[in-house]
Chain A
Amino acid sequence: MKPLIPYSLLIAGLAALVGGLAFVSMVVGPATAGTFELFSMMTHGEADTAWMIMREVRLPRTALAMLVGMSLGVAGAALQGLLRNPLADPGVVGVSPAASLGAVLALYTGVSVQMPLALPLMGIAGALLCALLLHGLARRGGVLTLVLAGVAVSSLCAALMSLALNLSPNPYAAAEIMFWLMGSVTDRSMDHVLLAGPLILLGWAILGASARSLDALSLGEEAAASLGVDLGRTRTLVVAGTAICVGAGAAVTGGIGFIGLVVPHLLRPLVGHTPSRLLLASALGGGALLLAADILVRLLMFGPELKLGVLTALVGAPFFLWLIFRARTELES
C-alpha cells in the first residue's frame, strides 16, 4: 500500500513535533505557579532560581516524558507487528504491572523512605524478573502462550498490589501507593533519568534489531520462516526489548497506558503498513503524545495535579473507541 506522505517527510515532521513539544515542556510551568512565571524571574534578577528550575525540575520531567512515550510507542508497534494483532499493547506482556509491583513493594515496606532510589530500582528488578519469565516461555511456547502468560502475570501483579493496599494499616501509605500507580513524571530528578535512560536505550536497540523480521512476519509466519526468519529469535527480541524499555520507564513513572495501543494505530496508514517503518514513526509519535499530555496536565491544574496516567487513559480510551468505530469495516473485512 502506498503511504500517504513520503516516509522521510513523516519522520522529519514527527521529529520536529517531538522537538517542538520538548521545547514547550521546558518553557511551560504548572498553571498554579504561573505558567510563564520563569521568564519574569529571569528578567527580574532571579535568573539563578529560574535556571535551576529548568535544569533540575523541567529537564528530567521532559526527558522522562519523551523517553517513556517513545518506549511505549515503539514497543506497541513491535508487539502489534509480532503478534499481527492490532490489540497488542505493551501491557499484554505484563511488564508494566510487574514494574509497578516492585515499586509498590518499595513503598509498602517503607524501603523507599530510607532510600528514595529503592523505588525505581525495585521497579526495574520487577520488570526484569517478568522479562526473564516471559523469555523462558517465549522460547518454548508459541505466540498464544506468550500473550496468555502476559495476561496471567498482569493479573497476578495487580492482585499483589491490591493485597498491599488491602493490608496497608496506614491510610496515608495506602494513598501514596494509589497515587503512585496513577502514573506521573512530575518532580522526578536527573537520577531517575540516569537510572532508566540507559535501560530504555538498550530496549530500543533490541527492538530495532527485530525490524527486518517484523517486515517478513507481516506476510505470515510460514512465509516469514521460508524467507529465513528465525521466529523464536524475533519473539525473544521483541519481548526482551519491550520488557526492558517499558519496564524501566514504568519503574520511574508508574502506570501510563494507551500510548502503546493508540499511537501505532494512528501512524500505520501513514507508513504504508510497513512494520519496520512503523517502529521509528511510533516511537516519535509516542514521545510527542506523552509530552503533549504532560504539558496539558500542567495547564489543566486547578487544584491537585491531574496524574499523567489518568489523563492518557481518559483521553486515550474514548479516542481509541472512535478509532475502532471508524475502522471497523476495515478490521472486519
Chain B
Amino acid sequence: MKPERHMGRPFARRARVALGPLFTLLFGIMIFQAVAAAQTRPQRIVSMNLCTDELLMRLVDPSRIASVTYLSQQSVNAPLGLDGIASKLKINHGLAEEILMQKPDLVLAGRFTAATAVNLLRQLGMHTVTIDPENTLDDMRANIRTIGEAVGESARAEQMIAEFDARLAALQAQIPPGEKPVFADIGVNNFISGENTLYTHIVNAGGYRTLGQALGFDGFRNVTLEQVLSVRPALISTATPWTSPPSISTMALRHPALRAMVEATPQITIPERYTTCGAPSALGAVELLVAARKAAAAKVGG
C-alpha cells in the first residue's frame, strides 16, 4: 500500500521537476530562435537591379543596405519619393568586383541584370536571389514575397501587399462605369505594349486598355504609324522625363499624320518610373489614369 500511496507523489514531483526545466528550455529555444532570426537576417544587402532597389528600400532599414544601383540615384526616380534614402546609400554598377568589396551577405538581382556578374558571384558562394521581370500584378506580389522572405521581412512584405491592394481597390472604386477606353502609349517608347505585360496590367488597373490590346497582340511590339492611326484613342501619353532627350518615339508624335489626332485627344504624362517595376510605385500610374477617367466622365457629364 505504501509504495502505491507514494506512487503518485514522487511521480508528480518528478514531473514538476522535469517540467520546470522543460519550460525553461522551451522558453530558451524561443528566445534563441528570435535572436538567431535577427542574426541570420541579412545585414549587408546589395541590390543590382533598379526594381529590387525600390523593393529593398521599402522593406528594410537603410542601415542593412550595403548598396543599390547607380540608377536609383538618377533624377528619373524622384517620383518614387525614395530620394532621401537612395542619396545616402552606397551604389554599385553591377560589377562583381565592386560588389565583392562591399562584402554583402545577400545579393538581389533581376533575371536579366548583369548576368555574367551574378553568375560569377553565385559561383564564388555568394547568396544571390534573382527575380523574373513581372508580367502581371500577381507576379509583382510574388516578387515582393520572395524579396521579403530573402531579407527576413516577410511580415512587412505582406503588409506592403495588403496596403497596395487596399489602395488599388480604393482607386478602382472611383473609376466611372463603362467599357475601358483606349490609352495610346505612343510617347512612352518604341515598343507598344500588348497583352500579358506589366505595363498593360497597370494601365488596365487604371481603367484603360492599351493600344496594343486594341490592336490585339501579345508582349511588346514595334507598331507602324498606320496601325497607330487605325485606333481612335481616348487618351494619349506624351513625352516623359525619360524620353526628353530626342528619341524616335517622341519624334513619331510630330508626324503630320499624327498631329491632328494628338491635338484632338486629351494627353497625360505618366513618369516612366511608375511603370518600369512591379512595385508599389505602379500605384502612381494607376492614380493618374483614374484621374484622367474621372476628368473625361466629368467633361461628358458637364
- 7 residue pairs A–B, Cβ–Cβ below 8 Å: A30-B98, A34-B101, A37-B101, A56-B124, A57-B100, A113-B115, A303-B70
CA distance A169 to B119 in the complex (A): 24
Q: A32 — which chain B residues lie within 8 A by C-beta?
A: 70, 91-93, 95, 98
Q: A46 — which chain B residues lie within 8 A by C-beta?
A: 103
Q: Which residue of the partner chain, among B95, B119, B123, B219, contacts A170 with CB atoms under 8 Å? A: B219
Q: A173 — which chain B residues lie within 8 A by C-beta?
A: 112
State the Cβ distance, B167 to closest chain A Cβ, in Å. 27
CA distance A191 to B120 in the complex (A): 10
Task: Knowing A33-B98, A57-B97 are in contact, say whether A52-B111 is a contact too (CB < 8 A).
Answer: no
Please give the number of chain A residues whose Cβ is less than 8 angstroms from any Cβ of chain B in the complex: 33
**Is A188 in the interface zone, CB < 8 Å from B?**
yes
Task: Knowing A49-B101, A170-B219 are in contact, say whether A188-B116 is a contact too (CB < 8 A).
Answer: yes
Interface pair B101/A305, CB less than 8 Å apart = no
B172-192 to A contact mask, C-beta < 8 Å, 1/0: 000000000000000000010
**Is B110 in the interface zone, CB < 8 Å from A?**
yes
Task: Knowing A57-B120, A303-B70 are in contact, say whether A30-B95 is a contact too (CB < 8 A).
Answer: yes
State the Cβ distance, A100 to closest chain B Cβ, in Å. 15
Q: B119 — which chain A residues lie within 8 A by C-beta?
A: 116, 189
State the Cβ distance, B128 to closest chain A Cβ, in Å. 12
B10-43 to A contact mask, C-beta < 8 Å, 1/0: 0000000000000000000000000000000000
Q: Which residue of B lies closest to A301 (CB)?
A: B93
Q: Which residue of the partner chain, among B95, B103, B110, B219, contacts A49 with CB atoms under 8 Å? A: B103
**Is B158 in the interface zone, CB < 8 Å from A?**
no
Q: Which residue of A lies closest to B100 (CB)?
A: A53
Q: Which residue of the partner chain, among A37, A53, A116, A169, contacts B220 with CB atoms under 8 Å? A: A169
CA distance A301 to B115 in the complex (A): 19
Q: Which residue of B lies closest to A117 (CB)?
A: B119
Q: Which residue of the partner chain, among B70, B101, B103, B116, contacts A186 with CB atoms under 8 Å? A: B116
**Is B117 in the interface zone, CB < 8 Å from A?**
yes
Q: A116 — which chain B residues lie within 8 A by C-beta?
A: 115, 119
> Size class of B's contact patch?
20 to 34
Q: Given contacts A37-B101, A57-B97, A170-B133, could you give 12 more A-B pairs where the C-beta distance is less than 8 Å?
A: A30-B95, A52-B100, A58-B97, A169-B221, A170-B112, A170-B220, A187-B114, A188-B116, A189-B120, A303-B93, A305-B93, A305-B95
State the Cβ distance, A328 to closest chain B Cβ, in Å. 38
**Is B218 in the interface zone, CB < 8 Å from A?**
yes
Main secondary structure of the interface of B (DSSP, over half): mixed
A167-179 to B contact mask, C-beta < 8 Å, 1/0: 0011111011000
Interface pair A172/B112, CB less than 8 Å apart = yes
CA distance A34 to B91 in the complex (A): 12
Question: Which B positions have Cβ atoms within 8 angstroms of A?
Answer: 70, 91-93, 95-98, 100-101, 103, 110-112, 114-117, 119-120, 123-124, 133, 191, 218-221
A28-50 to B contact mask, C-beta < 8 Å, 1/0: 01101110010001000010010
Q: A186 — which chain B residues lie within 8 A by C-beta?
A: 95-96, 116-117
Q: Which residue of A lies closest to B194 (CB)?
A: A169
Q: A318 — which chain B residues lie within 8 A by C-beta?
A: none
Q: A189 — which chain B residues lie within 8 A by C-beta?
A: 119-120, 123
Interface pair B95/A187, CB less than 8 Å apart = yes
State the Cβ distance, A72 to closest chain B Cβ, in Å. 20
**Is A228 in the interface zone, CB < 8 Å from B?**
no
Interface pair A113/B116, CB less than 8 Å apart = no
Q: A187 — which chain B residues lie within 8 A by C-beta?
A: 95-97, 114, 116-117, 120
CA distance A208 to B255 in the complex (A): 59
Q: Which of A168-202 contact B (CB under 8 A)?
A: 169-173, 175-176, 186-189, 191
Task: Knowing A112-B115, A187-B120, A189-B123 are in contact, say whether A30-B220 is a contact too (CB < 8 A).
Answer: no
